[in-house]
């Protein structure tokens, strides 16, 4: 199912990210997916996230699809040229993968194959353009296709990253090329999200806001110093300070629930980035639904 | 069953090639694959052959696995860097794909996206090595894997190349890097092929002879001037010229070549580009 159609039906979308294994043991992955299945609308799989080599996103997405879980496949321009990128979008379509997030991907220098060639034949805007062309029945060089894929394309954004104007230009171009949803980095300050949403209010695009539970003060500090554009407000830091581990979990889940309830009217959905707290995602979703 | 296991059973392995469509309509491809069921041992799925953008080998191989047909996944180095190549190999294994044919790939200028960036971060030899490393539990940077894949790795060679020596050197490298079976470019001269087989006997690797059914004298001449390592002798071109039913003649010649070479090697690989539907007929004509 296209995420954008789900949003139009008035459903508040809930998605969760799962990590593809580095290797071929998919048991943990499938267990996590099965536990999340009844709580979420879709599971997204990164494309060798942070330039770290893992089993292919398309393969995990196909496994999810065969278990009746809607997948979202990330496709990064870092590792493939335009032949492979277009081909992989066609391949996704025949494997039942409809939602694709286009990204440029991290530079190989931050990953585990620092010598890998950064391909970057296209960027996420030109890739969105290529996807639009495919959906219209032609490839990038104008050759007619034998069977046209049905895709719902998304892009990523970071609402707290300055200058916002530069990102807005990218978003506008990508939406003009056919991007239908935006998946954002985590946002902990509702005011930051409000400013972002206001700045794109005239675009017909589904906004799914990233959320990463704060496991501890040290994790929050790490986010503040390492995740560009993402800020955990002082008030949240204070709530987590000095708490023993078991109470910190409860506090954290409560904070997540409160934050999501606050930002819910501003967006069309939430995207959980569990950072190994997959097991707590259902609890937050349950807390969101009993109002 | 993997190509190597099939060879171990002592039979002449028969594989044939299918080319994915340029688009998502796989009906005809699956029909062609269905026609081959029970008649051949594995179906080799090309990957963006001649650098023309198409549906990839990998998703089609998965469809074949779901239909209980044995695929051979072609992977090339032209379009993907080492992150994507290794990632695709792991994904392939997860989805039940075992036979992998590792190719360097044609240059992009040959295809329909001449402006595409040629990647070539790895080549066929380093790709074979990477796949072998994955089987040993590590990626190319030495990071440990969680459970390891197991592949049946293949590579290609052109026995008709002139000079042959560079092909032999490269083949040895490929076998040392991990190639467990070899698929050849189209063979039209059994005598030359025999010389080639003698030259590579020391490598002790199963070899599948490539058979390309000729469609017309023009197609033969086209291959002679455009496809490296393929040489159709004048005698065969003459035979095609004189034939009343050319397609039939092409099938007859293919069957004859199969019978001339099959005792020299471990298998046959039929590349019936654009005439996949005739593969069963070729096999029948060869009496296999």
Residue A140 has pLDDT above 50, yes or no: yes
Closest residue in A to B109 (Cα) is A83
Residue B226 covered by a domain: yes
* pTM for this model (two decimals): 0.95
CB A13 within 8 A of CB A6: yes
Residue A152 covered by a domain: yes
Residue A237 covered by a domain: no
Residue A156 covered by a domain: yes
Can you tell me whether residue B186 is helix, strand or coil? Answer: strand
Region A79-104: what's the mean pLDDT? 97
Residue B287 covered by a domain: no
Closest residue in A to B52 (Cα) is A83
Residue A240 covered by a domain: no
Helix axes B57-66, A82-94, angle to 10 degrees: 20
**Residue-wise burial string across B83-106, b where 16 or more C-beta atoms lie within 10 A, e elsewhere:** bbbbbbbbbbbbbebbbbbbbbbb
Residue B128 covered by a domain: yes
Region A3-29: what's the mean pLDDT? 94
Residue B160 covered by a domain: yes
Mean pLDDT of the residues in chain A: 95
Report which of A89, A98, A91, A90 is spatially closest to residue A64, judged by C-alpha positions.
A98
Structural domain boundaries enclosing A97: 3-214+267-289
Q: Is B54 on the interface with A (CB under 8 A)?
A: yes
Virtual CA dihedral for A66, A72, A78, A84, nearest 10 degrees? Answer: 50
Q: How many Cβ contacts (< 8 angstroms) between chains A and B?
A: 192
Closest residue in A to B137 (Cα) is A23
Residue B52 covered by a domain: yes
Instruction: Output the CA angle A57-A63-A64, nearest 5 degrees.
Output: 90
Closest residue in B to A136 (Cα) is B23
pLDDT-based confidence at A131, cuts 50/70/90?
A: very high
Distance CA A17, CA A220 (A): 19
Indicate yes or no: CB of A79 within 8 angstroms of CB of B139: no
Residue A230 covered by a domain: no
Q: Is B22 on the interface with A (CB under 8 A)?
A: yes
Residue A280 has pLDDT above 80, yes or no: yes
Residue A257 covered by a domain: no
| DSSP assignment of A204-236 | --EEEEEE-----HHHHHHHHHHSTT----HHH
Indicate yes or no: CB of A119 within 8 angstroms of CB of B81: yes
Distance CA A241, CA A78 (A): 39
Please write the tens of the pLDDT for every residue from A42-62: 999 999 999 999 999 999 999
DSSP strand pairing (B99-103 vs A206-211):
unpaired
Reported ipTM exceeds the 0.90 cut: yes
Indicate yes or no: CB of A24 within 8 angstroms of CB of B94: yes
Shortest alpha-carbon distance between residue A226 and chain B (Å): 24
Residue A122 covered by a domain: yes
B113 phi/psi in degrees, rounded to 5: -130, 65
How many other CB atoms are found less than 10 A from the CB of residue B202? Answer: 9
Residue A248 has pLDDT above 90, yes or no: no
Residue B277 covered by a domain: yes
Closest residue in A to B59 (Cα) is A91
Q: Which of A59, A63, A141 sits opposite B113 (nearest CB)?
A: A141
Region A216-238: what's the mean pLDDT? 95
Count of structural domains within chain A:
1
Shortest alpha-carbon distance between residue B53 and chain A (Å): 5
- The residue ranges of chain B whose pLDDT is under 50 are none
What pLDDT, on the 0 to 100 scale, is given for residue A290? 62
Distance CA B157, CA B161 (A): 9
Residue A257 has pLDDT above 70, yes or no: yes
| DSSP assignment of B76-90 | ESSSB-HHHHHHHHH
Helix H or strand E encompassing B100: strand B99-103
Distance CA A102, CA A85 (A): 10
Report which of B226, B190, B195 is spatially closest to residue B210, judged by C-alpha positions.
B190
Find residue A155's DSSP bridge partners: A102, A182
Region A120-138: what's the mean pLDDT? 96
Instruction: Tell whether omega for the bond before A163 is within 30 degrees of 0, i.e. cis.
Output: yes
Token readout for A168 is 């807005």
Which of B82, B84, B108, B148 to substitute to test the interface with A, most A CBs within 10 Å? B84
Indicate yes or no: CB of A139 within 8 angstroms of CB of B113: yes
pLDDT-based confidence at A1, cuts 50/70/90?
A: confident
Report which of B26, B31, B63, B133 is spatially closest to residue A65, judged by C-alpha positions.
B63
Question: C-alpha distances in angstroms, B135 versus B1, B105, B153, B208, B284?
Answer: 18, 23, 11, 24, 38
Distance CA B79, CA B127 (A): 13
Instruction: Tell whether omega for the bond before A112 is within 30 degrees of 0, i.e. cis.
Output: no
Distance, CA of A173 to chain centre: 19
Shortest alpha-carbon distance between residue B123 and chain A (Å): 13
**Which CATH number belongs to the domain containing residue A51 in this structure?**
3.20.20.220
Residue A219 covered by a domain: no
Residue B269 covered by a domain: yes
Count of structural domains within chain B:
1
Residue A142 has pLDDT above 70, yes or no: yes
Distance CA B44, CA A31 (A): 33
Residue A291 has pLDDT above 50, yes or no: no
Indicate yes or no: CB of B119 within 8 angstroms of CB of A117: yes
Residue A211 has pLDDT above 80, yes or no: yes
Distance CA B236, CA B252 (A): 11
| DSSP assignment of chain A | --HHHHHHTT--EEEEEEPPPSBS--HHHHHHHHHHTTT-SEEEE-SSGGG---S-HHHHHHHHHHTT-EEEEEEETTSB-HHHHHHHHHHHHHTT--EEEEE----GGGSS-TTS----SS-HHHHHHHHHHHHTTB-TT-PBPSS----EEEEEE-TTPSPHHHHHHHHHHHHHTT--EEEEEE---HHHHHHHHHHTTTS--EEEEEE-----HHHHHHHHHHSTT----HHHHHHHTT--HHHHHHHHHHHHHHHHHHHGGGSSEEEE--TT-GGGHHHHHHHHH--
End-to-end CA, chain A: 27
CB B67 within 8 A of CB B32: no
Structural domain boundaries enclosing B161: 3-282
Can you tell me whether residue B125 is helix, strand or coil? Answer: helix
Residues of A in contact with B62 (CB under 8 A): 62, 95
Please write the tens of the pLDDT for every residue from A174-188: 999 999 999 999 999
**Which CATH number belongs to the domain containing residue B131 in this structure?**
3.20.20.220
3-class SS string, A157-196: ECCCCCCHHHHHHHHHHHHHCCCCEEEEEECCCHHHHHHH
Q: Looking at chain B from residue 119 to 138, which residues have their Cβ under 8 Å from any Cβ of chain A?
A: 119-121
Shortest alpha-carbon distance between residue A144 and chain B (Å): 8
Residue B288 covered by a domain: no
């Amino acid at each position: 199912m296209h995420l954008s159609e789900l949003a139009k039906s008035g459903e508040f979308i809930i998605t969760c990210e799962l990590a593809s294994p580095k290797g071929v043991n998919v048991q943990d992955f499938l267990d996590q997916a099965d536990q999340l299945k009844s709580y979420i609308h879709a599971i997204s799989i990164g494309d060798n996230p942070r330039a770290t080599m893992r089993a292919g996103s398309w393969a995990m997405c196909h496994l999810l699809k065969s278990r009746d879980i809607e997948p979202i496949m990330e496709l990064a321009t870092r590792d493939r040229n335009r032949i492979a990128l277009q081909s992989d979008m066609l391949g996704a379509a025949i494997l039942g993968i409809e939602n694709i997030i286009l990204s440029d991907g991290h530079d190989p220098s931050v990953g585990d194959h620092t010598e890998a060639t950064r391909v970057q034949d296209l960027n996420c805007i030109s890739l969105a353009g290529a996807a639009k062309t495919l959906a219209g029945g032609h490839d990038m060089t104008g050759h007619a296709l034998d069977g046209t894929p049905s895709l719902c394309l998304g892009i990523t954004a970071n609402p707290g990253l300055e200058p916002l104007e530069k990102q807005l230009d990218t978003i506008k171009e990508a939406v003009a090329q056919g991007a239908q949803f935006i998946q954002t980095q985590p946002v902990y300050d509702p005011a930051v999200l409000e400013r972002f949403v206001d700045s794109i209010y005239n675009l017909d695009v589904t906004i799914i806001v990233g959320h990463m539970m704060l496991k501890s003060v040290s994790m929050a500090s790490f986010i503040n110093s390492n995740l560009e554009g993402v800020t955990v407000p002082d008030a949240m830091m204070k709530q987590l300070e000095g708490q023993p581990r078991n109470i910190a979990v409860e506090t954290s889940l409560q904070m997540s629930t409160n934050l999501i309830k606050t930002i819910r009217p501003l967006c069309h959905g939430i995207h959980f980035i569990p950072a190994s707290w997959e097991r707590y995602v259902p609890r937050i979703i349950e807390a969101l639904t009993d109002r | 069953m993997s190509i190597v296991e099939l060879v171990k059973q002592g039979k002449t392995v028969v594989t044939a090639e299918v080319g994915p469509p340029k688009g998502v309509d796989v009906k005809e491809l699956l029909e062609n694959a269905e026609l081959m069921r029970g008649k051949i041992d594995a179906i080799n799925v090309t990957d963006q052959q001649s650098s023309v953008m198409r549906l990839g080998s990998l998703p089609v191989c998965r469809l074949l696995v779901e239909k209980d047909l044995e695929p051979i996944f072609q992977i090339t180095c032209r379009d993907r860097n080492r992150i994507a190549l290794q990632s695709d190999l792991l994904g392939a294994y997860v989805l039940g794909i075992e036979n992998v044919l590792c190719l360097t790939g044609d240059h992009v200028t040959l295809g329909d996206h001449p402006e595409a960036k040629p990647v070539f971060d790895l080549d066929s030899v380093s790709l074979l090595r990477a796949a072998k490393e994955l089987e040993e539990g590590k990626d190319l940077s030495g990071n440990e894997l969680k459970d390891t894949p197991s592949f049946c790795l293949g590579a290609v060679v052109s026995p008709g190349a002139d000079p042959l020596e560079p092909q032999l050197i490269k083949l040895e490298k490929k076998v040392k890097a991990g190639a467990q079976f070899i698929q050849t470019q189209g063979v039209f001269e059994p005598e030359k092929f025999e010389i080639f087989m003698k030259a590579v006997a020391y490598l002790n690797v199963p070899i599948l002879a490539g058979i390309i059914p000729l469609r017309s004298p023009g197609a033969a001449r086209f291959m002679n001037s455009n496809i490296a390592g393929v040489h159709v002798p004048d005698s065969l071109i003459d035979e095609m010229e004189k034939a009343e039913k050319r397609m039939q003649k092409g099938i007859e010649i293919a069957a004859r070549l199969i019978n001339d070479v099959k005792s020299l090697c471990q298998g046959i690989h039929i590349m019936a580009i654009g005439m996949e539907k005739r593969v069963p007929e070729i096999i029948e004509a060869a009496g296999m």
